[in-house]
Amino acid sequence: MTDFDFAGSVRWARFDPQKTLSRRKDDELPFLGDTAEAGQELMLDTCVYIDGLQGRAPDVVADLLDLRLSNHSTIAIQELMHTVGVLDPKHPGTKTAIRQIGTTVGEMHPHRVFAPDPDVLGKGALLSGILCRLQGYRKDARLRALQDCVLFLQAQKLGFTVLTGNIGDFDYLLQLIPTGRALFYRRT
């Protein structure tokens, strides 16, 4: 017997507005300010690691990570390892990128790494299906949507706030599940 509640998940159809969602204005969204503040524990979206490695995260993100507890999803590890797999071994920057990703994953404290449970995986798949249909996502965006939905619901279930630079997709998720929590930043 699985921990997944199929019937309860299907009732999630109530979150389906049955229309395409529009990106809201920035002043309607929870953006990280100029100064980091204490608050809820964070779950980091994969872009936080990548933006940090590429120098695209604003300084306030590092300040925030110094103040709050950071948690990691196996979804982010999966996406980082996918990146390692798709890098061109002949490219001169590949070895450095792989080393940096390896260091990043290696520095994740095991007690701060969480795997989504069957309920989160099932509901994340349903939510991503709704999102893909509403927004007309094509093949490339569908896997990304699935991973974002699972990470978002996992953070919600654990009581964490998702830190992300992926404003568009997580704005849609907040519209579909307003009880979820995300904190946005703009890449530099």
pLDDT in tens, 22-65: 889 999 999 999 999 999 999 999 999 999 999 999 999 999 99
Secondary structure (3-state) at 27: helix
Is the model more confident about 160 or about 9?
160
Query: Residue 146's beta-bridge partner residues?
Result: none
Q: Which candidate, 99, 112, 101, places its Cα nearest to that of 71?
A: 112
Spell out the domain ranges in the chain: 24-184
The answer to whether 114 and 154 have CB atoms below 8 angstroms apart is yes
pLDDT (mean) for 111-121: 96
Question: For domain 24-184, is the CATH number 3.40.50.1010?
Answer: yes
Measure the CA–CA gap between 132 and 180, rounded to whole angstroms.
Answer: 19
* Position 10 pLDDT exceeds 60: no
pLDDT digits (tens, 9 = 90+) for 134-148: 899 988 889 899 999
Q: Please compute Rg for the chain using Cα positions.
A: 17
The whole-model pTM stands at 0.91
